[in-house]
Amino acid sequence: MDYKCLEDKVRDGKAKICILGVGYVGLPLALAFSKAGFKVIGFDVNEEKINGLTEGNDVTKDHDNNDIKEAISRGTEFTNDKTRIKECDIVIMCVPTPVKESKEPDMGFVRSATELAGSNLKAGSIVVLESTVYPGATEEIIIPILEKKGMKCGVDFSIGYSPERINVGDKEHTIDKIVKIVSGFDEETAGVLEVLYKKIISAGTYKARNIKTAEAAKSIENVQRDINIALANELALIFEKIGVDVMDVIEAAGTKWNFIKFYPGLVGGHCIPEDPYFLVHKAKRVGYNPKMILAGRDINNFMSLHTVNLLDEGLRKAGKKLGGSKILLMGLTFKKNVRDVRNTPTKEIVAELTKSGAEIVAYDPLVLKDNARKTFGIDIVDDLNELKGIDAIALLTDHDIFRSTPLDNLKKLFNGRPVLVDVRRFFDWKKAKDAGYIYLGFGFKPESPV
């Protein structure tokens, strides 16, 4: 393997890069490498996505189409022709790594992407995985597949792992501003990857000791966040019963120098609710049954049902029942200001409400109507004023756009005493109470006995 030659090519911006999987992670990466002057091939098995991108159109509507068109004018190509992978010096795989129903990692996409890379691999190239995996997965899964055709890792090609830490929808922590962990099969590979990623990451790179360390680092970032939120959720459940506001308690406790503020909420997305299961999988395989990580998952998973319980409680206070009530869900995505409806706890909430016989209506100007129908089986309204006869609202996602919808306007939609379940603690509960709402927030019910 001539690492020196490859490193020079990368340094000079002459290396050709293939991004395998141009989704939420792969597309911004392809655009960033293109902007840095590299020739980029964005490969994806999704034909519709490739057709859209080729016309400069992101079907997820998550990117500015002008950025895509500019990349194309610089020579970036989007294709589903796997033979094009052969042209590339660096192949970066950004494919999904979901968890199965059984909570075991589904490595099928990584396997199939590696098969594609392996059967079209150029000698002397580096294959990098960016997908989230359990410690050990990259070497365990990728090397045997890539070596199938007789090439040897470290001799004819090499591999690396560089976890993606992008926070979709976050305009502040953009890809260039997040330190990139890089790791390689050997020191030389890690060195090439440092040069490569420094071309697009102004925050710089961090070279992990080895691939397993980088994989483990990515897992624990999200495990830590999941557990911290789980603690905030557990506190919310306790404080709802004793009539203190968890937000006030966190503010007060936060005046101590070593108290870290975390807030209750629904946990969704592709990372926090899933990544812990990757580490759990690996831990079990080596004979340790994690307790704390799984306890955190259980609490956070429970918060969907808790949302429905709060709706039930509020409706009872208003003299109604969940079954037959008309519930307005505001915000369907897993976090604010994003369009992505995958892995959102809204799905469980919709299922529970449907089971209880409630009628569901929804409002989320960021979500495409088709996506809402496909994902949740519900229709979204374009305009809140189309609605009437609502019995309760559950605010599930705190999109900034909702700031322009005052409580008084919402009140007009109701049939009888208005019930407001505020999962995100978005509304001022005092104002809600003064306006006549029965308010129930995660971590505080003003009507609870003190």
Ligand X SMILES: NC(=O)c1ccc[n+]([C@@H]2O[C@H](COP(=O)([O-])OP(=O)(O)OC[C@H]3O[C@@H](n4cnc5c(N)ncnc54)[C@H](O)[C@@H]3O)[C@@H](O)[C@H]2O)c1
Contacts with ligand X, residue ranges (CB under 6 A): 20-26, 43-46, 49, 94-97, 109, 112-113, 116, 130-132, 164, 166, 168, 270-271
CA proximity to 166, closest of 158, 175, 176: 175
Pick between residue 25 and residue 396 the one whose CB is nearest to ligand X. Answer: 25
Pick between residue 49 and residue 306 the one whose CB is nearest to ligand X. Answer: 49
Q: Which residue type occupies 230?
A: A
Please compute, for residue 81, the number of CA atoms within 13 A of its CA located in the half-sphere on the CB side.
9
Residue nearest to ligand X (CB): 23
CB of 288 to ligand X, least distance (A): 23
CB of 330 to ligand X, least distance (A): 23
Confirm if 305 and 313 have CB atoms less than 8 A apart: no
**Residue pointed to by tokens 């005052």:** 406
CB of 168 to ligand X, least distance (A): 4
Residue tagged active-site, from 18, 88, 94, 271: 271
State how far the alpha carbon of 316 is from the alpha carbons of 309, 319, 417, 424, 438, in Å.
Answer: 11, 5, 11, 22, 10
CB of 7 to ligand X, least distance (A): 26
Pick between residue 44 and residue 89 the one whose CB is nearest to ligand X. Answer: 44
Sequence-distant (≥ 6) Cβ neighbours of residue 156 within 8 angstroms = 1, 123, 124
Pick between residue 161 and residue 376 the one whose CB is nearest to ligand X. Answer: 161
Confirm if 268 and 345 have CB atoms less than 8 A apart: yes
Query: Which contacts qualify for 7-13: CB closer than 8 Å, 24 or more apart?
Result: 7/191, 7/192, 7/195, 9/89, 10/89, 10/90, 10/192, 10/195, 10/196, 10/199, 11/195, 13/37, 13/38, 13/199
Pick between residue 48 and residue 298 the one whose CB is nearest to ligand X. Answer: 48
Helix (H) and strand (E) counts for the chain? 16, 13
Kindly provide the residue ranges of all beta strands, DSSP E only, lying in 46-189, ordered along the sequence: 77-79, 90-93, 126-129, 158-161, 180-184
271 is catalytic: yes
CB of 110 to ligand X, least distance (A): 8
CB of 343 to ligand X, least distance (A): 9
Residues known to be catalytic: 271
